[in-house]
Structure 1
Amino acid sequence: MNEPDIILTQDLVKLVAEVDEFKGRWEALKNLSPDRLSALRKVATVESVGSSTRIEGAKLSDMQVETLLSNIEMRKFDTRDEQEVAGYAEAMDLIFQAYADMPLTENHIRQLHKVLLRHSTKDERHRGEYKKLDNHVVAIDADGVEIGVIFETATPFETPRQMEELVRWARKAIDEQSMHPLLIVAVFIVQFLAIHPFQDGNGRLSRVLTTLMLLRAGYAYVPYASLESVIEENKDIYYKSLRRTQTTLNVNDPDWSPWVGFFLRCLKKQKDNLVIRLNREKGQIDNTDLPEISVQILRLFDTDDRLNLSKITELTGGNKNTIKVRLRELVSAGRLTKHGKARATWYMKAQH
């Protein structure tokens, strides 16, 4: 594998610096009680497990994920969705407990794949083993019928060699500090997904490996804020940025910027979400921090217990798309809670 030549624009440099600055401040910021930190981590874990499995087509809500995980020791997982959730949770727990003793090796990658698919009866034959059949990324129509190949992944014959080369490059780059750690993670993940080394579970495993690599690079705050939920919120851009970079990987001068830019913006949003939650825990957020329209929205709940998007738009006179953004921010900040789905969605003021 050739050394990536990533051109960092001023915006990308700024993103890297902002994430690194927060990494440096984390020790001082995490002065909450162990109980509150544990609660933050539990929420983030539920969000991560739910989002990462939903990105790949699972249907369980965060509430259903939380219920399942609270009974995980005594459950038999009957549905595919439940099996995927249980496996993802166990893989994440393994990383949180043992990341310091898990350098990036092919053996550890295969071990994590085994854990990820431990409960999946459909995947029993190929857990922890590189693919034996082609698994190109395909488009599926509304009836579940394959309508064409979007991206050709590595062949089963090429996969062992390409994985060996990728892992060797990443370990060398980490040991020699030849690139910024965040860029090493970004390059590794986009290449890993282009190879698609396992028959199934590659997307979920890529997000598990992202967490592992970030923790090993010293980004100790990662378990307390979900990166997966940020990716789920931007799922379309996630796939587009992956493809835009992946389709250039076999030319002399790959275009790294679509994927690297997306990845760094997700890390910034992950960090921002954690800052909001930490400030809320410390009681430091008041309405002066909010845009005027957000303050208006919150005031509506002084007289109404529950409101939907249409009613909020009508009462504030605001732009519907702006209201959507502000509602999403207020939910992320823990000021409102969201209930229902699609057109039946409604909001309540969060109880503290």
Structure 2
Amino acid sequence: MKNKLTKIEKEIKQLRKIKGNVIHVSNSEWYSLFKDEIRNSIAIEGIFVNRQELIDVLERNKRTDKHRAASILGYFDAASTMYEYAVNQYKENEFSVRMADVKQIHTLLMRYEKDMGFYTGELGEFRKTRIEVAHSTFYPINEFYVRQSMELLIEWINYHLKEKTYDPSLLGAIFHVWFESIHPFRDGNGRVGRILLSYILIGCGLINISIKGITQKNREQYYDILEKADDQLEQLHRKIEKGKRFNVNDVDHNIDKNYFLEFVSVIIDSLEDSVNRIKRINLNDIDQEALIPLRDLAKIYDYSQDYLRNLINRGKLKGTKKGKIWYVKIKDIASYVEKINSKS
């Protein structure tokens, strides 16, 4: 898994060189991924929308079921705002997770449902009552210990973000399961948790992911993975409820990382899927005079460098050699591909 993650990290760096800011609604490939993330994440909570309905709500301001519309708009606002924030933090090498970030996600996520009367709790405020979690056998921490547990979680992740103890996939997996086992809000915890997971991945230089949730099988797999891992955190919570105080090192000694590896695998597979979708770059969005290294074009078009170099040698593709590296203009590769497609 480590080699796979390393490859993904390299590919994302290459995409940034070519595309610049990958994570933005102006990037059509990323926006398509983001819309799928919204559909899947709200489906995990039992709110089902098709692609057309999603587009109608986000882009055409058409009327639809109010609850579904509120869920779509809330997720869009919360995730897009925080992902952009994470990108900027990553650029400045100062990414961290703050309590205010968690509360802001909940506020943006639930405000439409609050306005329409579907959510009666306080926006961005931790629960003050005991709750039960659907599709789960665990018991969230007692409401009197929610803030204490969240403070410990925030302290833990920021320590490991600074020390780089764990790779981002394992860090995100533990954080997500831990957050869900606390269940700090009256409602919206699953969606907040999945946004936070992507927020952490982006803040670590990666990209947001779409955890599949459209089919019942998808949802059951997700719940099963959480169930297998949250036993580790439930034991921690029971000790906290008995008055035990933990620090970051105590937490690490009490958690067996092996219980999170299945979720890590899902995260890495989802990252790979996200990257593959972004790699389908719309070259029309890039300066047509831009010179792109042959190795990058090979990845974009799924050609080998040898094949492209052979085209240059045969005069089929215009290329410029600088030092030991061949470069091709966007307009020239686009013209060649168009000719090939027209013949086929």
> TM-score per shorter chain, which class?
0.5 to 0.7
Q: Does 1:264 align with 2:250?
A: no
Which residue of 1 is the match for residue 5 of structure 2? 19
Which residue of 1 is the match for residue 229 of structure 2? 245
Deviations 1:236-280 (A, max 9, x none): 221111111112331685444343322333322431453266268
User: Of the candidates 82, 102, 119, which is equivalent to residue 112 of structure 2?
Assistant: 119
Which residue of 1 is the match for residue 289 of structure 2? none
RMSD: 3.0
Q: Note the C-alpha offset of 1:136.
A: 2.0
Aligned residues of 1:193 and 1:206 also touching (Cα < 8 A): yes
User: Of the candidates 120, 129, 133, which is equivalent to residue 133 of structure 1?
Assistant: 129
- Please give the residue correspondences for 1:78-93 in structure 2 after superposition, counting only pairs within 5 Å: 79-93=66-80
Equivalent pairs, count: 257
User: Structure 1's 279 and 86: CA in aligned 2 closer, same or farther, altered over 3 A?
Assistant: closer
Deviations 1:170-199 (A, max 9, x none): 111111223223222111111100000001
Q: Does 1:194 align with 2:181?
A: yes
Report the residue type matching 1:122 in the other structure.
Answer: F
User: Structure 1's 16 and 231: CA in aligned 2 closer, same or farther, altered over 3 A?
Assistant: farther
Query: Aligned equivalents of 1:97 and 1:36: distance in 2?
Result: 10
Which residue of 2 is the match for residue 144 of structure 1? none
Which residue of 2 is the match for residue 327 of structure 1? none
Aligned residues of 2:29 and 2:281 also touching (Cα < 8 A): no
Report the residue type matching 2:175 in the other structure.
Answer: F
Deviations 1:115-170 (A, max 9, x none): 0101013325321000111122245xxxxxxxxx7220011101010001110111
Q: Per the alignment, in what secondary structure is the counterpart of residue 211 of structure 2?
A: helix
User: Structure 1's 61 and 259: CA in aligned 2 closer, same or farther, altered over 3 A?
Assistant: farther
Which residue of 2 is the match for residue 319 of structure 1? none
Q: Per the alignment, in what secondary structure is the counterpart of residue 118 of structure 1?
A: helix
Q: Note the C-alpha offset of 1:47.
A: 0.2
- Please give the residue correspondences for 1:1-352 in structure 2 after superposition, counting only pairs within 5 Å: 15-29=1-15, 31=18, 38-72=27-61, 79-99=66-86, 100-101=88-89, 103-120=96-113, 121-139=117-135, 150-219=137-206, 222-223=207-208, 226-229=209-212, 234-249=218-233, 250=235, 253-272=254-273, 274-275=275-276, 278=279, 282-284=300-302
Listed as ranges, the gaps of 5+ residues in structure 1 are 1-14, 140-148, 286-352
Q: Note the C-alpha offset of 1:21.
A: 2.0
User: Structure 1's 273 and 60: CA in aligned 2 closer, same or farther, altered over 3 A?
Assistant: same
Q: Which moved more, 1:162-171 or 1:76-85?
A: 76-85
Report the residue type matching 2:212 in the other structure.
Answer: S
Q: Per the alignment, in what secondary structure is the counterpart of residue 248 of structure 1?
A: helix
Query: Aligned equivalents of 1:17 and 1:169: distance in 2?
Result: 26
Query: Aligned equivalents of 1:256 and 1:55: distance in 2?
Result: 25
TM-score by length of 1: 0.65
User: Structure 1's 277 and 124: CA in aligned 2 closer, same or farther, altered over 3 A?
Assistant: same
Which residue of 2 is the match for residue 293 of structure 1? none
Query: Aligned equivalents of 2:26 and 2:218: distance in 1?
Result: 27
Q: Per the alignment, in what secondary structure is the counterpart of residue 96 of structure 1?
A: helix
Larger Rg: 2
Query: Aligned equivalents of 2:52 and 2:64: distance in 1?
Result: 17
Listed as ranges, the gaps of 5+ residues in structure 2 are 90-94, 237-252, 283-299, 304-344
